[in-house]
């Protein structure tokens, strides 16, 4: 005996309900895609034959790619066995309040400004403006110390990356001084 619930509309509703209950599978698909992308990039990378030792430029990307695939598989198994992520508790966030778009827009402007300025004025100046602008956007109004802290942070970051780690950052007009 057939019932009225075996209609295509009921099957579609059941499928949507199942997908909604297993929405974490979307994260699994994203992790899987990222893992495949990282592994494809790592395995097609041109590597110098004169590499010394077993660890080369492919090692870390391969480990990260395999890790992404393993996490995707483990998460998919957990979700299919009935595991569910906990709902966000939001700590001290009041979800009934609207978003603070002023802060978001200020931070966006600061980041875009730093990205535009890094080449002409160099990392130390652009970084100082980035650090100071982020502190200002997030609510700090200490005009006597914030620019000084931002300048010290920017110069320290520049020195660590440029001098210690060997990652060349644009120095701008301060290139000869630093």
Assign 39 a pLDDT band (cuts: 50, 70, 90): very high
3-state SS, residue 29: helix
Cα Rg of the chain (Å, integer): 25
Distance CA 111, CA 117 (A): 10
Q: How far apart are CA 28 and CA 164, in angstroms?
A: 38
φ, ψ at 79 (rounded to 5°): -65, -45
Are 61 and 42 in contact by the 8 Å Cβ rule? The answer is yes
CA dihedral of residues 24, 69, 38, 168 (deg, nearest 10): 90
pTM of this prediction exceeds 0.95:
no
pLDDT band at 178 (very low <50, low <70, confident <90, very high): low
Structure tokens at 163: 């001098």
Q: Which residue has the tokens 């931070």?
A: 107
Tokens of 141: 């109004």
SS3 content of the chain, % helix, strand, coil (to 5): 65, 0, 35
Please tell me the predicted confidence (pLDDT) of residue 177. Answer: 67
Tens digit of pLDDT for each residue in 54-79?
677 788 899 999 999 999 999 999 88
- What pLDDT shows up at residue 67? 96
Rounded distance between C-alpha atoms, residue 69 and residue 77, angstroms: 12
Q: What distance in Å separates the CA atoms of residue 95 and residue 90, rounded to the nearest whole number?
A: 8
Residue 8 pLDDT class (50, 70, 90 cuts):
confident
User: Given this model, what pLDDT does residue 125 score?
Assistant: 93
> In the Cβ-directed half-sphere of 130, how many Cα atoms lie within 13 Å?
20
The share of the chain scoring above pLDDT 90, in percent, equals 45
User: What confidence score (pLDDT) does residue 80 get?
Assistant: 86
Query: What is the overall mean pLDDT for the chain?
Result: 84
pLDDT digits 0-9 by tens, 83-128: 776 766 656 666 677 878 899 999 999 999 999 999 999 999 999 9
- For tokens 């199942």, what's the residue? 18
Q: What is the pLDDT of residues 45-56, one digit of tens each?
A: 877 665 666 677
């Amino acid at each position: 005996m057939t019932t009225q619930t075996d209609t295509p509309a009921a099957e579609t509703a059941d499928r949507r309900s199942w997908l909604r209950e297993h929405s974490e599978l979307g994260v699994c698909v994203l992790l899987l895609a990222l893992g495949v992308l990282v592994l494809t990039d790592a395995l097609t990378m041109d590597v110098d034959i004169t590499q010394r030792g077993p660890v080369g430029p492919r090692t870390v990307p391969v480990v990260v790619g395999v890790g992404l695939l393993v996490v995707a598989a483990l998460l998919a198994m957990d979700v299919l066995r009935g595991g569910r992520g906990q709902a966000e508790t939001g700590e001290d966030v009041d979800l009934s309040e609207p978003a603070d778009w002023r802060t978001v827009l200020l931070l966006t402007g600061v980041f875009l400004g730093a990205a535009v300025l890094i080449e002409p004025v160099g990392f130390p100046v652009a970084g100082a403006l980035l650090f100071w602008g982020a502190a200002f956007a997030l609510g700090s109004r200490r005009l006597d110390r914030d620019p000084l802290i931002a300048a010290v942070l920017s110069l320290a970051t520049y020195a660590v990356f440029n001098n210690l780690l060997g990652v060349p950052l644009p120095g701008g007009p301060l290139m000869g001084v630093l």
